[in-house]
A and B are shown apart, each in its own frame.
Chain A
Amino acid sequence: MDEQRLIEAASRGDLSAFNQLVLSYQSMAYNLAFRILGTGDSAQDATQEAFIKAYRNLGQYRGGSFKAWLLRIVTNSCYDYLRRVQRRPASSLEDLSTDPEYVGQLVDPLEAPSDYTLRQELSALIQQGIATLPIEQRTVLVLSDIEGLSYEEISQAMGTSLGTVKSRLSRARAKLRDFLLERQELLPSRYRLEND
């Protein structure tokens, strides 16, 4: 796939070209939204909204990492979603982070049932830990340690300086570490940290 040509065609209004870009990045976008928001429904809404915004604002893309540009839109869509939820007293952010449907989505048919169960437990606990972080730290942690973006890409995706990225990532990792160490007994034995 020639991404640059697809971007150029999409900029001229070629929806089919844009949809090829969507298919390439939808997993990354959805996973980022899911880790930030914590529920499938909200992640779907934010992801779809992000792709619509991206299509309508392609003219503002000025080159560079398309992935970082797109993930910035996804991140902003998630923040918008959270702001909307905060304005509505009926549902709270706590509800977002404890949605049990999360576990049900981690199905990998190729994985052995025992391994699947272990990873499911690990994922559930990590998601709980991520949900305790402030939103900016949550975002930088997911972009770095789950999506594997470089500091430079994270800086572009979040519209912040490299120093801020390093600082937030450091704090996020430290907080998540403390969260997990306090709950070692909840981790599957394979994932427990061995004492010195």
Chain B
Amino acid sequence: MNYRTNDRDQLLSASLDGELSPGDEARLAALVDQDAASRRDLQTLAYTRQLLAETPRVPVPRAFTLNESMAGVRSPQPAGWLAWLQPMHLRLAAAMVAVLLLVFVVGDVSTQWRLVGDGPSSALVAPSGGLAPDQGDPTGILAAKTATTESGVQSQTTFLSLPPATLLALEIGLAVLLLLLLAASWRLVRL
């Protein structure tokens, strides 16, 4: 056998790891059979490898887990369907709710104001409490007036013909929704 030392050592070393091809295994068998030095080298390499395997592991002195500061991030991103949620989306929704709330409040207040301003003398008689034909209110928003019925009972109508309790509940609901959206948006920005 005419192996260079490096080639021979590689063959011996790889044999310890079972990384030899069938051809190399045959060459190794012939080598250790004919060469006493190679036989001894294989033995001492195996011994060295065994010593390394018996070397105890070094206990970990502490946990290497990361905190947010070390990781350079603020917090995990939401997963699943929430992943699309961005502060901009919440702000947009908050703006829309705010506009809606404004419309309701302004409409409600202006309706009340008109009723006060017009007074009972200008009240029109509306058979069903709807818009009088000569009011010129194309939007239909101000459909309500205090109307005096034949029986003398004064029925109060409000913005969009909604009952006062419903209107109030809507306004409160919109205000709460607006606050929640603003809070969520602020929270996302803080993350």
Partner-B contacts on A (CB < 8 A): 9, 12-16, 18-19, 22-23, 26-27, 29-31, 34, 40, 43-44, 47-48, 51-52, 55-56, 102, 105-108, 119, 122-123, 126, 141, 144-146, 151, 166-167, 169-171, 173-174, 176-177, 180-181, 191, 193, 196
Cross-chain contact of A151 among B12, B17, B58, B67 (Cβ < 8 A) = B17
Say yes or no: A177 contacts B45, CB within 8 Å: yes
Say yes or no: B56 contacts A180, CB within 8 Å: no
Residues of A contacting B: mostly: helix
20 CB-based A-B contacts, threshold 8 Å: A15-B66, A15-B71, A18-B66, A19-B66, A22-B65, A23-B63, A52-B71, A56-B72, A108-B59, A119-B54, A122-B51, A126-B52, A146-B55, A166-B13, A166-B14, A170-B6, A177-B45, A177-B47, A193-B44, A193-B47
Please name 7 further chain A to chain B contacts, defined as beta carbons within 8 Å, in addition to the given A12-B83, A123-B56, A169-B13, sorted by A numbering. A15-B68, A55-B71, A106-B59, A166-B19, A167-B10, A171-B9, A174-B45
Query: Binary interface profile of B, 30-61, with partner A (CB < 8 Å = 1, else 0)?
Result: 00000000001100110111011111111111
B165 at the interface (CB under 8 A from A): no
A23 and B62 CA atoms in complex are apart in Å by 10
Cross-chain contact of A145 among B52, B56, B72 (Cβ < 8 A) = B52
A13 and B72 CA atoms in complex are apart in Å by 10
Q: Which residue of B lies closest to A119 (CB)?
A: B56
Q: Which residue of A lies closest to B13 (CB)?
A: A170
Q: Which residues of B contact A34 (CB under 8 A)?
A: 58
Say yes or no: B51 contacts A180, CB within 8 Å: yes
B189 at the interface (CB under 8 A from A): no
A105 and B49 CA atoms in complex are apart in Å by 22
B70 at the interface (CB under 8 A from A): yes
B76 at the interface (CB under 8 A from A): yes
B64 at the interface (CB under 8 A from A): yes
How many residues belonging to B are interface residues under a CB distance threshold of 8 Å?
43
Q: Which residues of B contact A102 (CB under 8 A)?
A: 58
B73 at the interface (CB under 8 A from A): yes
Q: Which residues of A contact B55 (CB under 8 A)?
A: 119, 122-123, 126, 146
A176 and B9 CA atoms in complex are apart in Å by 13
A120 and B76 CA atoms in complex are apart in Å by 43
Say yes or no: B64 contacts A51, CB within 8 Å: yes
B116 at the interface (CB under 8 A from A): no
Cross-chain contact of B58 among A30, A52, A177 (Cβ < 8 A) = A30
Q: Which residues of A contact B68 (CB under 8 A)?
A: 15
B1 at the interface (CB under 8 A from A): no
B77 at the interface (CB under 8 A from A): yes
**Contacts A180-B51, A191-B51; is A9 near B79 (CB within 8 Å)?**
yes
What's the nearest-Cβ distance from chain B to residue A151, in Å? 6
Q: Which residues of A contact B61 (CB under 8 A)?
A: 30, 40, 44, 105
A111 and B44 CA atoms in complex are apart in Å by 27
What's the nearest-Cβ distance from chain B to residue A191, in Å? 6
A13 and B52 CA atoms in complex are apart in Å by 38
Q: Which residue of B lies closest to A162 (CB)?
A: B19
What's the nearest-Cβ distance from chain A to residue B50, in Å? 9
A106 and B61 CA atoms in complex are apart in Å by 11
Q: Which residues of B contact A174 (CB under 8 A)?
A: 9, 13, 41, 45
Q: Which residues of A contact B47 (CB under 8 A)?
A: 177, 193
Say yes or no: A12 contacts B79, CB within 8 Å: yes
A55 and B68 CA atoms in complex are apart in Å by 11
Cross-chain contact of A173 among B19, B45, B70 (Cβ < 8 A) = B45
